[in-house]
C-alpha cells in the first residue's frame, strides 16, 4: 500500500478531502478541531502511520535500520553491540535510528510505532543480556523485517543472533583443565538467567570431555537488579577456600572476578601463584584493571552487532546464529602450585 493511497483511504473514511488530510499531517493547527477529530478517528481505525521521514525527504529512501534497545545504550557492558551495528550499517549504506526503552517494556509499542513512522527498512530488537523476549512486544512490527539481537523467541520466529554461552563456558573450563587444575570452583550468576543455564551445561560437558571431576558450583550473584549483586561474595569465597581448597576459580562475569581477586588479595593469596581466576565477558574496562590482568571468555558483542545488521538488510538470511566466544589469555591463570593448598 502506498502513502498516497493510504491518505486517500483516510480522507474517504473521515469524509474530507485528501488536501485536508495532507494539511493536517503537516500542521494539525491548520484545520478545525472537529475536522481534526474526524481525521484522527479515521487514522486509528485504518491503523494509518504517517511517514515522518517520507514527508521530510520528499520521496528519498531513508535507508534506516531501526533499533529498539533494552538498556544497550545505557549499559557500558553493551557498547560493542552498538559499535558492531554502526560499522555494519555504514558499510551497507544505512543509518541507525535507535529508540531506548530503558527496561520499561510498556514503552516498546510506542517506540516501534515511531520507528515504523520513519519508514525503517528493518527493526532490530536488542537487549543488554541474553534473555527471552515477549512475543507481544513484536506485534506492532508486523509487516516489517525483524531481527533479534542478544534475545530470542522460544519458537524462533525471527532471525536471531546470540552468543554461544555454552561453547564459551566449555572452552573456559577446558582452559583451566589444560593448565592442570582439578580443584575448580565456579561462581555462577543468578539461576534464572539464560546465560547461567547455558554455561552450566557447557561446564558439565567440558568436565565430561576432559574426563575430569565436575567443578563445585556456587551461586555468587543475588540478581542483576540488586543494589550490589555481589554483596555476599567475600563470605562465599571464604567458605569455598575452606571447604574445597580450589586452585582455580571461574567467575560468572568480570565484575565478579574482579571482586574475587580482591577477596584473595585480602587474604594474602597470590593470583595466579596460589589460585587462578578466570572471568566471563572480557569487559574492556575491567580485564586490564585487575592485578594481575584478567583471563576472560570474550562475549562476541562486536561480531553479534555486525551480524544482526547484515541479517536485517538481507532477507535471505534467517534462523539462529550463535556467535563463538573466545578465551582471552592473560596473567590471572597459570598452572596450579605443586603440592600446595590455598588457605
Residue 177 sits in the same domain as residue 261 = yes
**CA gyration radius, the chain:** 26
Rounded CA gap, 29 and 48, in Å? 19
CATH at residue 294: 3.40.50.2300
CA distances for 78 relative to 33, 117, 136, 146, angstroms: 46, 27, 24, 20
Query: Residue 60's pLDDT band (boundaries 50, 70, 90)?
Result: low
Tally the domains of the chain.
3
Q: Looking at the structure, tell me whether residues 177 and 280 fall in a common domain.
A: yes
Contact 322, 300 (CB under 8 A): no
Same domain, 223 and 153: no
Q: Is residue 175 part of a domain?
A: yes
Within-domain flag for 305: no
Q: Label residue 315 exposed, middle or buried (CB < 10 Å: 0-12, 13-18, 19+).
A: exposed
Do 72 and 34 have their domain in common? no
Q: Which residue has the cell 474526524?
A: 38
Burial of 263 (0-12, 13-18, 19+ CB in 10 A): buried
Mean pLDDT of 12-17: 92
Cell triple for 263: 577477596
On the question of pLDDT at 279 being above 60, the answer is yes
Instruction: Provide the grid cell at 275.
Output: 589460585
**Is 251 domain-assigned?**
yes
For residues 257 and 277, what is the distance between their CA atoms, to the nearest angstrom?
7
CA dist 299 and 7 (Å) reads: 47
Q: What is the pLDDT confidence band of residue 51, given thresholds at 50, 70 and 90?
A: low
Question: Of 130, 158, 186, which residue constitutes the final position of a domain?
Answer: 158
d(CA 198, CA 224): 17
The answer on 269 and 169 residing in a single domain is yes
pLDDT digits (tens, 9 = 90+) for 88-122: 999 999 999 999 999 999 999 999 988 988 889 99
Tell me if 110 is assigned to some domain: yes
Q: What gap in Å lies between CA 147 and CA 37, rounded to an integer?
A: 36
Encode pLDDT of 230-241 as tens digits.
999 999 999 999
Final residue before a domain boundary, out of 158, 193, 215? 158
Q: Is residue 304 part of a domain?
A: no
Same domain flag for 170 and 290:
yes
Residues 172 and 294 in one domain: yes
* Shared domain check, 182 and 144: no
Do 245 and 210 share a structural domain? yes
Can you tell me the distance from the alpha carbon of 252 to that of 2, in angstroms, rounded to the nearest whole number?
A: 51
Segment 248-260, tens digit of pLDDT: 999 999 999 999 9
Note the pLDDT of residue 314. Answer: 96
Task: Indicate whether 215 and 132 sit together in one domain.
Answer: no
Give yes or no: residues 144 and 189 share one domain. Answer: no
Asked whether residue 40 is assigned to any structural domain, the reply reads yes
Give the pLDDT band of residue 340 (cuts 50, 70, 90): low
* 331, part of any domain: no
Residue 340 lies in a domain: no
CB 166 within 8 A of CB 146: no
d(CA 165, CA 219): 17
| Domain end position, chosen among 123, 139, 158 | 158
User: How far apart, in whole angstroms, are the C-alpha atoms of residue 190 and residue 292?
Assistant: 26
Domain hosting 261: range is 165-299
Of 57-61, 234-238, 242-246, 311-315, the range with the lowest mean pLDDT is 57-61
Cβ contact 277:264 at 8 Å: yes
Please, what is the Cα angle at 274 between 271 and 278, to 5 degrees? 50
pLDDT tens digits for 182-203? 999 999 999 999 999 999 999 9
* Residues 314, 64: Cα–Cα separation, whole Å: 14
Residue 53 pLDDT level (bands cut at 50, 70, 90): very low
Q: Are residues 87 and 187 in the same domain?
A: no
Average pLDDT, the chain: 91
Amino acid at each position: 500500500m502506498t502513502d498516497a493511497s493510504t491518505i486517500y483511504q483516510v480522507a474517504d473514511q473521515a469524509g474530507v478531502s485528501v488536501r485536508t488530510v495532507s494539511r493536517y499531517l503537516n500542521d494539525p493547527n491548520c484545520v478545525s478541531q472537529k475536522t481534526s477529530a474526524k481525521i484522527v478517528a479515521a487514522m486509528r481505525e485504518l491503523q494509518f502511520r504517517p511517514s515522518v521521514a517520507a514527508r521530510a525527504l520528499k520521496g528519498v529512501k531513508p535507508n534506516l535500520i531501526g533499533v529498539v534497545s533494552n538498556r544497550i545504550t545505557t549499559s557500558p557492558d553493551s557498547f560493542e553491540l552498538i559499535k558492531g551495528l554502526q560499522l555494519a550499517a555504514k558499510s551497507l549504506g544505512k543509518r541507525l535510528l535507535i529508540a531506548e526503552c530503558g527496561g520499561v517494556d510498556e514503552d516498546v509499542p510506542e517506540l516501534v510505532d515511531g520507528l515504523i513512522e520513519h519508514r525503517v527498512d528493518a527493526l532490530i530488537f536488542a537487549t543488554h543480556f541474553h534473555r527471552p523476549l515477549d512475543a507481544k512486544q513484536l506485534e506492532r512490527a508486523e509487516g516489517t523485517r525483524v531481527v533479534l539481537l542478544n534475545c530470542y523467541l522460544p519458537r524462533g520466529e525471527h532471525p536471531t543472533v546470540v552468543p554461544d554461552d555454552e561453547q564459551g563456558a566449555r572452552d573456559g573450563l577446558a582452559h583451566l583443565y589444560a593448565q592442570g587444575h582439578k580443584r575448580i570452583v565456579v561462581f555462577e550468576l543468578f539461576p534464572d538467567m539464560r546465560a547461567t543455564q547455558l554455561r552450566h551445561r557447557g561446564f558439565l560437558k567440558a568436565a565430561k570431555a576432559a574426563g575430569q571431576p565436575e567443578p563445585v558450583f556456587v551461586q555468587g550473584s543475588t540478581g542483576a537488579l540488586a543494589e550490589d549483586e555481589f554483596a555476599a561474595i567475600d563470605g562465599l569465597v571464604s567458605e569455598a577456600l575452606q571447604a574445597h581448597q580450589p586452585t582455580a576459580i571461574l567467575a560468572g562475569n568480570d565484575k565478579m572476578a574482579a571482586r574475587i581477586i580482591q577477596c584473595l588479595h585480602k587474604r594474602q593469596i597470590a593470583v595466579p601463584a596460589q589460585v587462578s581466576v578466570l572471568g566471563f565477558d572480557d569487559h574492556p574496562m575491567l580485564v586490564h584493571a585487575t592485578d594481575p590482568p584478567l583471563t576472560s571468555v570474550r562475549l562476541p558483542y562486536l561480531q553479534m552487532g555486525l551480524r544482526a545488521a547484515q541479517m536485517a538488510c538481507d532477507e535471505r538470511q534467517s534462523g539462529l546464529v550463535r556467535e563463538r566466544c573466545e578465551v582471552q589469555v592473560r596473567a590471572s591463570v597459570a598452572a596450579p602450585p605443586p603440592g600446595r593448598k590455598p588457605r
